[in-house]
Amino acid sequence: MAKPTGFLEYQRETPGERPLTERIKDWQPIHLHLPETKLKTQAARCMDCGIPFCHTGHIINGMTSGCPINNLIPEWNDLVYQGLWREAYDRLSKTNNFPEFTGSVCPAPCEAACTLGISDPVVTIKSLEYAIIDKAFAEGWVTPDVPARRTGKKVAVIGSGPAGLACADQLNKVGHNVTVFERADRIGGLLTYGIPNMKLDKQIVRRRVDVMAAAGITFRTGVEAGQDISAYDLKWDFDAVVLATGASQPRDLVVDGRHLSGIHFAVPYLEKMTKQVLADDASRITHHASLSAAGKDVIVIGGGDTGTDCVASALRQGCRSLVQFEIMPEPPLKRPSDNPWPQWPKVYKMDYGQEEAAAVYGRDPREYAILTKKFEGDEQGNLKVVHTVEVEWKVVGENGRSRRVPVEIPGTEKVWPAQLVLLALGFLGPENPLLEQFGVKTANNQQLATRSQPPTYQTNVDGVFMAGDARRGQSLVVWAINEGRGAAREVDRWLMGETDLP
């Protein structure tokens, strides 16, 4: 235990962020960092519980509670408190391939499950995790993990998001020759093109990819499996194939006027913004007026992390006005009785994007319990206004089959000016053409089918595995890492007859 009375003596302190009015002027990372003395104090608050809920990831009432990759949190908290940073890094690396990613973008379900949360502010697990890996890179402890021998087995990983990268990293450690195929021009999947730079610095992604490449993993960008290389060729050239393509099929909003110019899915918009930020030569940036928020009235439809990222990006582009629609009602300020610890707390809070919008416009940009009815355009086919109506959620049905549905409230119709609408409504599942080439069967929810539960991560096709959002549906980065590690373990078992991978 770090300090037996630490949580009684010290208050929770987070690293904080750059000033709101300053950071919206650029695309640089918003997070600040605590000095080492304060980090040790924060680590001292860890109680080293008899049953540490923080590192046991489960789905409770539809939400993640605890760490899905089972980080040994009390152990590395104790090591940080003692100043044993190298040992803390070694312990963290046993369970997490990419602490710099989770330390930046994970919503920290581990903190939601911290036992202190029953009565006090929880331990700052996320910032301590990032501090450990940040120090490890600074001290040169993160080096290429080159295997002592090669097995001669070749594995293709399709997709370079967190699931694909974690799978590749694990398989390389046990000596398999791994090639990662990515259809975009940069490695990282949604880590690169789905999360804006101010939330996850792309240099951090590049740094990790460079370490993996030095360890022997081959990366091929600009190669779309199913088009540039067929499923047949992949199965012929490799002993196993892992589909980690993500759930990239976006959920659409089917209402009148959807065809109008100025209505876009969120991820292509965020991808375009990131490409502009990463452009080596600013003069090469192609300006697409329809994908720019500059000088426009912008509406983001949908909440969640992607919606927040759209809000923050539109602000940085210089939008004229900004509003975010959420169909669900506004959450309460405190936990309701049906949302007890250690469930994820469903309470009102503003994420970084909403805080920035409030600093600019004087209020939270979100409008709750609102339904989009139709889009209306001008004579040239450009979006002009959005029609909405407020809703209330009512319980319908009986005999144990009741459910909550939104019911329109008469007289609450409203028209909103808008020249740019960004749809952040989540994702339906993987894109099907590649799956059809492989002959992979899909489940009813469009996620890839597995052969058993708990999963073997193998599809109905021998030697073809899957991991990440493609298998489980849209989820967190930390779940994707869990999936990649699990798939790697089962691929190794399938290739070698046994496995030592955790």
pLDDT tens digits, 37-65? 999 999 999 987 888 999 888 899 889 99
Q: What percent of the chain has pLDDT over 90?
A: 83
pLDDT of residue 144: 97
Report the pLDDT averaged over residues 344-356.
Answer: 96
pLDDT of residue 453: 62
User: Do β-strands 427-429 and 249-250 pair in parallel, antiparallel, or remain unpaired?
Assistant: antiparallel
Q: What is the mean pLDDT of the chain?
A: 92
Task: Provide the residue type at 13 as one letter.
Answer: E
> Who wins on pLDDT, 407 or 434?
407
- Does the pLDDT of residue 267 top 80, yes or no? yes
How far, in Å, CA of 66 to CA of 73, rounded? 10
pLDDT of residue 450: 58
pLDDT of residue 429: 84
pLDDT of residue 154: 98
Q: What percent of the chain has pLDDT over 70?
A: 95
pLDDT tens digits, 74-130? 999 999 999 999 999 999 999 999 999 999 999 999 999 999 999 999 999 999 999
How far, in Å, CA of 257 to CA of 458, rounded? 42
Task: Provide the residue type at 83 as one letter.
Answer: G
Domains of the chain: 6-139 (1.10.1060.10), 154-249+427-496 (3.50.50.60), 252-423 (3.50.50.60)
How far, in Å, CA of 66 to CA of 59, rounded? 9
How far, in Å, CA of 272 to CA of 265, rounded? 11
What are the residues facing 156 on neighbouring strands?
179, 241
DSSP 8-state class, residue 97: S
pLDDT of residue 395: 87
pLDDT tens digits, 140-150? 999 999 999 99
How large is the greatest C-alpha to C-alpha distance in the chain, in angstroms? 71
Task: Provide the residue type at 58 as one letter.
Answer: H
pLDDT of residue 80: 97
Quick check: helix, strand or coil at residue 486?
Answer: helix
- Does the pLDDT of residue 206 top 90, yes or no? yes
Report the pLDDT averaged over residues 252-271.
Answer: 96
pTM: 0.94
Using a 10 angstrom Cβ sphere, with 0-12 exposed, 13-18 middle and 19 or more buried, the burial of residue 145 is: middle
> Shortest CA distance to 53 belongs to which of 39, 40, 38, 67?
67
Task: For 419-446, give the DSSP string.
Answer: SEEEE---EEE--HHHHHHHT--B-TTS
pLDDT of residue 281: 45
Exposure on the CB side of residue 488, measured as CA atoms within 13 A: 28
Q: Which residue has the tokens 């929810």?
A: 445
- Does the pLDDT of residue 327 top 60, yes or no? yes
pLDDT of residue 451: 52
pLDDT tens digits, 271-313? 999 998 998 544 444 445 568 999 999 999 998 999 999 999 9
Cis peptide before 162 (omega within 30 of 0): no
How far, in Å, CA of 370 to CA of 409, rounded? 10
- Does the pLDDT of residue 72 top 70, yes or no? yes
DSSP 8-state class, residue 382: B
What does the radius of gyration of the chain's CA atoms come to, in whole angstroms? Answer: 23
Question: SS3 helix, strand, coil % of the chain, rounded to 5?
Answer: 35, 20, 45
How is residue 75 written in tokens? 């152990």
